[in-house]
C-alpha cells in the first residue's frame, strides 16, 4: 500500500511524542486566544487611576473586532488625551519623543505646545514691547485656561511705549491671577498712565511670593505696596532718581505693611526714616545706598535680621568729611548700645550664629557693628583706616576680602592688620585684576597676615583675559607657595589656593619637628566651609 500523502486532511498514524509536562502528569494549558487591550471602554479602565492620581485620560472606545468597520473607512485620528496631562508630559519628554508626537498628531502637539508656552517662566527672559501683543492675543483665545497656567511674569521696557502696549499688559495681568512672581521694570510712564488698570490686577494676585518693582514710579509703588495682601517672601523695590519730587533719598518706610509677617528678603535703595512697620520674619536686607546715619531704625524694623548687605550704588554721604563720618559712627554706636546692652553675651545685630555683613568697609565703619561672625568686604584704597577700626569692633570669625590692584596698592596690604586683635577662622583673598608688580603679591599678603592669628587661608587668583597674568600663574609652584605660607604664618592650619586651570589645590600644615613645619596635600573635595 502506498504511503499516505502529507495532505492537510490526512492524519499521522505515528505515536505522538509526549511533552515534558504531560510525561509528569501535569495539566496542559490551552493556548489562550488573543485578548484585546481593553475589554471595555478605556475611560472606565482608567477611572480607578483618576481617583488616585487626579488625572483623567480620554481615549476613543475600542470596538470588538467583529463590529469594526472596514479598514478603508477608519479615519487616522490619534486617541485624544486631556491636554493638562499632555502639557505635563511634554515638559520632560526628550526631543526625539516630541518629534514623534509632532509627526503622529500635529494639531494635538501644537495645542499642547501653546499651553506649555503659557506656563513659561519669564523671570530671566522678560517680555518686551515686541512680544507683549502676541502673548496677550495668545491668552485671549482662552483666558480662563491659558491664563491660569502662568506663574512667573517679567516685563521690561527700555523706552517709552504706546498706550496700546500698556493695554495689552493690563489684559495679561487681568487674565493671570495665579502669578506668584511678578517683575515690572522700567515702565514708569506706562504704569502712571494706566494706574488702576495695572494696580487692580496686581492687588488681586493673592498668591504672590516675590515682587520686583524697579523704576515704576514712587507714588504707584507706595500705593500698591501699602494695599498688597499676599504671602510675600521676597521683595525688591528700586526708585528712580527724582521720583520723590525733590527728596534726597526715597523713603522706604512702611513698605508692604500687610505682608510684613511673611516677608523674609528685601532689597531697596530707599531709606527707612522711622519704625512704622516691623518685619519679624526678615532675615536678609540689601541696601543700595550709603546712607548709614541711623542704624537704630534698621534694628527696630528688622529685629531678627541675619544677613545685611550694603551696595553703594547710590552715594549720598560723599560730601561728609572725616570728622562728620566719625560723628555718624559714634551716634550709631550709641544707638546699638541702647538696644543691645551687653555685647559680651554674644548679643549683636545682625543676630544669630550666621550673622553676616557684606559690603564696603566704609559702610561697616559707619554702622559701628560688633560681634559679626562673617564679614565680606570690598576693599578700596581709601578704606584702609576704616578697615582697621571696623574689623576691630566686628571681630569676625570669617573674613572675605576682595582686593584689586587698581583700588588697593600692595604696599598697603600690611596696614590692614589690626595688631593681632583679630581671631580669624577663615581669610579669603580674591585677586580679580592682574597687577603690574606680580612679584610683590605674595610678600605683601604675608606681611598682612603675619600679625593676625589665621586658621585657614584661601587665595583665589581669578582667571582673566591677560596673557601676562596667565604666564605668572603658570610659573608659580603651588606646593612651594603653600610651604612658604605655612612657614611664615604662625598658627595656620590649612591653605587653599585657587588658580583656575593652574595647579589649584589644598594643603594641611603639619608639624615635622621643633620649629619646622611642612604641608601635606589634601584630596580634591576635602573642603567643607571654603567658598
d(CA 330, CA 328): 5
Q: State the pLDDT at residue 280.
A: 93
Cis peptide before 350 (omega within 30 of 0): yes
> Which of 39-53, 333-347, 353-367, 479-493 has the weakest average pLDDT?
39-53
Identify which has the larger pLDDT, 61 or 93. 93
HSE-up of 417 (CA within 13 Å, CB side)?
A: 16
> Which of 246-250, 333-337, 474-478 has the weakest average pLDDT?
246-250
* Residue 288 contacts residue 313 (beta carbons within 8 Å): yes
Helix (H, G, I), strand (E, B) or coil at 398: strand
> pLDDT of 43-62, one tens digit each?
333 333 333 233 333 333 33
Does 179 score more than 80 pLDDT? yes
d(CA 240, CA 219): 12
Does 387 score more than 70 pLDDT? yes
Q: Which residues contact 518 (CB under 8 A, 6 or more apart)?
A: 483, 486, 509, 510, 511, 512
The winner for highest mean pLDDT among 177-191, 192-206, 224-238, 335-349 is: 224-238
Residue 372's CB is within 10 A of a number of other CB atoms, namely 23
pLDDT band at 264 (very low <50, low <70, confident <90, very high): very high
pLDDT above 70 coverage of the chain, percent: 65
Identify which has the larger pLDDT, 178 or 76. 178
Q: Which of 199, 201, 237, 239 is nearest to 217 (CA)?
A: 239
> pLDDT of 274-330, one tens digit each?
778 899 999 999 998 888 888 889 999 999 999 999 987 667 776 778 888 889 899
> Which of 18-27, 113-122, 419-428 has the weakest average pLDDT?
18-27
Helix (H, G, I), strand (E, B) or coil at 22: helix
pLDDT band at 205 (very low <50, low <70, confident <90, very high): very high
Residue 339's CB is within 10 A of a number of other CB atoms, namely 13
Burial profile 66-100: b = 16 or more Cβ within 10 angstroms, e = fewer? eeeeeeeeeeeeeeebebeebbeebeeeeeeeeee
Q: State the pLDDT at residue 108.
A: 63
* Residue 233 contacts residue 256 (beta carbons within 8 Å): no
Q: State the pLDDT at residue 410.
A: 60
> Which of 29-33, 191-195, 439-443, 444-448 has the weakest average pLDDT?
29-33
- DSSP bridge pairs for 509: 519
Set of cell numbers at residue 238:
528700586
Identify which has the larger pLDDT, 245 or 81. 81
Does 227 score more than 70 pLDDT? yes
Does 346 score more than 70 pLDDT? no
Average pLDDT in the chain: 72
d(CA 377, CA 401): 5
Instruction: State the helix-helix crossing angle for 195-203 and 163-175, rounded to 10 degrees.
Output: 20
d(CA 222, CA 224): 6
Does 220 score more than 50 pLDDT? yes
Amino acid at each position: 500500500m502506498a504511503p499516505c500523502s502529507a495532505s492537510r486532511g490526512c492524519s499521522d498514524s505515528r505515536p505522538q511524542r509526549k511533552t515534558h509536562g504531560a510525561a509528569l502528569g501535569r495539566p496542559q494549558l490551552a493556548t489562550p486566544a488573543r485578548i484585546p487591550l481593553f475589554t471595555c471602554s478605556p475611560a472606565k479602565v482608567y477611572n480607578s487611576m483618576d481617583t488616585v492620581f487626579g488625572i483623567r485620560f480620554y481615549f476613543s472606545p475600542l470596538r470588538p473586532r467583529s463590529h469594526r468597520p472596514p479598514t478603508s473607512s477608519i479615519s487616522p485620528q490619534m486617541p485624544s488625551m486631556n491636554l493638562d496631562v499632555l502639557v505635563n508630559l511634554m515638559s520632560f519628554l526628550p526631543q526625539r519623543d516630541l518629534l514623534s508626537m509632532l509627526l503622529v498628531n500635529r494639531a494635538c502637539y501644537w495645542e499642547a505646545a501653546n499651553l506649555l508656552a503659557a506656563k513659561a517662566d519669564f523671570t530671566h527672559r522678560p517680555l518686551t514691547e515686541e512680544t507683549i501683543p502676541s502673548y496677550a492675543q495668545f491668552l485671549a483665545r482662552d483666558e480662563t485656561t491659558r491664563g491660569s497656567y502662568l506663574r512667573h511674569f517679567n516685563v521690561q521696557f527700555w523706552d517709552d511705549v504706546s498706550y496700546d502696549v500698556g493695554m495689552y499688559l493690563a489684559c495679561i495681568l487681568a487674565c493671570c491671577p495665579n502669578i506668584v512672581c511678578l517683575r515690572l521694570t522700567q515702565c514708569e510712564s506706562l504704569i502712571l498712565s494706566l494706574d488702576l488698570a495695572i494696580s487692580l490686577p496686581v492687588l488681586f494676585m493673592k498668591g504672590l511670593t516675590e515682587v520686583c518693582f524697579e523704576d515704576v514710579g514712587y507714588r504707584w509703588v507706595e500705593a500698591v505696596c501699602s494695599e498688597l495682601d499676599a504671602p510675600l517672601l521676597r521683595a525688591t523695590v528700586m526708585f528712580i532718581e527724582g521720583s520723590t519730587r525733590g527728596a534726597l533719598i526715597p523713603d522706604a518706610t512702611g513698605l508692604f505693611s500687610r505682608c510684613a509677617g511673611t516677608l523674609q528678603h528685601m532689597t531697596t535703595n530707599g531709606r527707612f526714616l522711622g519704625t512704622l512697620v516691623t518685619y519679624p520674619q526678615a532675615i536678609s536686607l540689601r541696601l543700595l545706598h550709603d546712607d548709614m546715619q541711623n542704624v537704630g531704625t534698621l534694628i527696630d524694623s528688622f529685629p531678627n535680621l541675619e544677613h545685611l548687605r550694603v551696595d553703594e550704588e547710590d552715594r549720598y554721604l560723599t560730601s561728609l568729611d572725616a570728622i562728620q563720618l566719625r560723628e555718624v559712627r559714634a551716634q550709631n554706636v550709641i544707638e546699638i548700645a541702647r538696644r543691645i546692652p551687653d555685647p559680651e553675651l554674644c548679643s549683636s545685630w545682625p543676630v544669630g550664629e550666621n550673622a553676616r555683613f557684606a559690603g564696603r568697609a566704609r559702610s561697616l565703619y559707619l554702622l559701628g557693628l560688633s560681634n559679626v561672625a562673617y564679614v565680606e568686604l570690598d576693599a578700596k584704597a581709601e578704606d584702609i583706616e576704616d578697615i582697621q577700626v571696623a574689623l576691630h569692633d566686628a571681630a569676625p570669625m570669617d573674613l572675605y576680602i576682595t582686593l584689586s590692584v587698581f583700588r588697593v596698592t600692595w604696599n598697603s596690604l600690611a596696614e590692614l592688620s589690626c595688631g593681632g586683635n583679630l581671631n580669624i577662622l577663615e581669610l579669603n583673598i580674591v585677586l580679580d585684576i592682574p597687577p603690574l608688580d606680580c612679584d610683590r603679591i605674595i610678600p605683601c599678603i604675608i606681611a598682612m597676615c603675619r600679625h593676625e592669628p589665621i586658621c585657614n587661608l584661601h587665595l583665589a587668583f581669578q582667571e582673566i583675559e591677560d596673557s601676562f597674568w596667565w604666564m605668572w600663574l603658570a610659573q608659580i609652584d603651588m606646593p612651594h607657595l603653600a610651604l612658604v605660607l605655612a612657614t611664615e604664618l604662625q598658627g595656620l592650619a590649612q591653605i587653599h589656593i585657587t588658580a583656575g586651570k593652574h595647579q589649584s589645590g589644598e594643603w594641611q600644615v603639619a608639624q615635622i619637628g621643633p620649629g619646622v613645619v611642612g604641608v601635606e596635600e589634601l584630596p580634591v573635595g576635602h573642603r567643607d566651609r571654603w567658598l
